[in-house]
Structure 1
Amino acid sequence: MLASLLVHTTRSSQKLQPWKNTYLQTPSERQPSTDEIKRTLRSAVQAFSRVFMIIDAIDERRTSNSCRQAFLQHIFDLRAQCGINVFSTSGYTQDVTDRFKTQEAEIVEIRARDDDLKMFLRDQIAPFHRKLLKENSGLIEAKIIEVVDGMFPFIRLLFQSIEHKTSPQQLKAALEDLSGEKEVYLTAYKSIMDRIQAQHLESSRLSYHVLEWVVCAQRPLAILELQHALVIISKISARPEVDHDLAIF
């Protein structure tokens, strides 16, 4: 991520173009070290009178080996040494929030407005030529908006949990189940698990295997690694339970 920041910063700096050409654009015998990237990024920042860094979804940065903490520390060091302006977005993650608070950063909570959520739900309902959903659209909107409490990413998951109900009784019961949960995360995850369990046996079993590898892996897996893992586990065991003899990456 530091290298990416360096690339963007040096685009307008002729002074640092030779270094950029050497390490970031043409093949070389070695990759620049982290310290080299840090030093050059600091030099690049100092070449401008004002610098604004925009970092999106900092909470999605890897936490293994303290990568996220180290990255944030370097950004804060740049801010202290060079006076850069930093704008970052993040889901609510306590350690990220705490780190920015130590820098006396202004923290603004961004929440979806109810009108925007209603518009999204209406767009979801519109393609369904089903009388049940259209007649109960007001109830669907009210219940789901109440549960998501301004957190937009969950609205699609919750709608998926009720979109295929076939009777008013089923629909209303499903909506009551949603509104009965105090934690929207729990509601969303429960909805996902319900859909997994409703699948065909083999599809459900595959979904559980995917979850096992994603949750138990010691580091994030690439898609190709996950595919290889699923092939291995399918050859070792046809059971949906975790095979404790497997070595997890």
Structure 2
Amino acid sequence: MEITNCESYDQLSALAAEVVLHYVTENPNLLLCAATGNSPLGLYRNLSQAAEQMKKMRVIKLDEWGSIPMSHPASCEYYLQQEVVKTLGIAPQRYFGFQSNVANPEAECARMAAVLKEQGPIDLCVLGLGKNGHIGFNEPAEALTDHCHIATLASSSQAHSMVQALQDKPTYGLTLGMKDILSAKRILLLVSGEGKAGAREKLFSKQIRSQFPASYLWQHASVTCLVHTPD
């Protein structure tokens, strides 16, 4: 893991954009796995300044809140449509994602597993670090799940800023699994935001354990980690 401590969130976002642009320049058709939330927002907005270079890449959604309508502003779909798909000019046939409010979530996970098998492997996976160490919706557990699955959300995930205003919080999410993520050729991990200092210290302890899923990133051969935690 290559770690860079950044002086500001703006610097983190700019450096992250440089990483993505480097690999897109090498391979315009690359498959980018896109996280949502506050950590990668600056990255995506920086990339919008180079939209012409980005529009040929493919994008796969890392995860999605269960039961929230796709058009709801709290959904990962809404976020990615606004911050990635539309701004970068990604054509519909080059974007792949979980449907959030399907009648059969198990079948939806199977569908996305088939999509990843067809389109993959992921060339570059963008991740944020959850306060409890989750990546995607791979929450701390006795055993982690390899592939696309339904994840019961931890209370800290239900308190996430994306859904904190909802009266009915989602209780589950749909997510790529740990093996799906670790099979990516390269990973870009963004550690930013208030309340992340504890998670940062656990990550940097290098103790690999299922109760802190992000620790498994130490087993990956190519991880770029950019850090800015004001606390």
TM-score in same-fold range (> 0.5): no
Structure with the greater alpha carbon radius of gyration? 1
| Larger helix percent | 1
User: What is the TM-score with the length of structure 1 in the denominator?
Assistant: 0.24
| Larger strand percent | 2
User: What is the TM-score with the length of structure 2 in the denominator?
Assistant: 0.25
Greater relative CO (CA pairs within 8 A, separation 6+): 2
